């Protein structure tokens, strides 16, 4: 019931109770408080049991969607999407998994394997996709981002 109350807080409450109520009446107050909490817990459990017995099968129509919503809130986002939108089939998410995507053969891996087969270095070969074009050096500052005062004046 009091999951967030630690021993430090209980000790502080006890000391304050000892000061305010006094050492003579404190044991009686603790017994009364304990009896009140037990009576409240018993009343709540009896009310739950009475509602369950009275509404029984008629209430099941409302109980099922509430329980399904409760299970969805306990799930993570991926599991909730898989269950509601994809009907439990999470193979759709495999295409977005970087571990699985990187595990598949890529064009670069195939090129390196072919180069190793022919004992050539694939970095020395130039293809139209990897040809580098040299820009003439105009004396610009590389940190300037291509800005030149000559363009303005």
Tens of pLDDT, residues 28-74 = 998 999 999 999 999 999 999 988 888 777 777 788 888 888 887 88
Q: Are residues 39 and 69 in the same domain?
A: no
Q: Are residues 61 and 110 in the same domain?
A: yes
Its pTM surpasses 0.75: no
For the chain, how are helix, strand and coil distributed in percent, rounded to 5?
A: 65, 0, 35
**152: its two tokens:** 């303005």
In a domain, 134, yes or no: no
In a domain, 80, yes or no: yes
Q: Are residues 62 and 50 in the same domain?
A: no
Question: What are the pLDDT digits (tens) for 97-139?
Answer: 777 766 666 777 777 878 877 766 555 555 555 555 555 555 5
Domain that holds residue 97: 57-115
Split into its structural domains, the chain has a count of 2
Q: Are residues 65 and 104 in the same domain?
A: yes
CA distance 72 to 81: 9
In a domain, 90, yes or no: yes
């Amino acid at each position: 019931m009091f999951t967030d109350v630690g021993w430090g807080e209980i000790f502080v409450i006890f000391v304050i109770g000892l000061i305010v109520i006094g050492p003579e009446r404190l044991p009686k107050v603790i017994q009364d408080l304990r009896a009140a909490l037990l009576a409240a817990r018993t009343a709540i459990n009896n009310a739950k049991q009475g509602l369950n017995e009275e509404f029984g099968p008629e209430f099941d129509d409302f109980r099922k969607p509430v329980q399904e919503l409760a299970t969805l809130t306990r799930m993570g986002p991926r599991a909730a999407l898989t269950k509601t939108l994809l009907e439990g089939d999470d193979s759709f998410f495999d295409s977005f998994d970087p571990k699985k995507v990187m595990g598949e053969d890529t064009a670069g891996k195939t090129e390196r394997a072919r180069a190793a087969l022919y004992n050539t270095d694939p970095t020395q070969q130039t293809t139209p996709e990897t040809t580098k074009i040299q820009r003439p050096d105009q004396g610009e500052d590389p940190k300037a981002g291509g800005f030149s005062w000559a363009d303005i004046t």
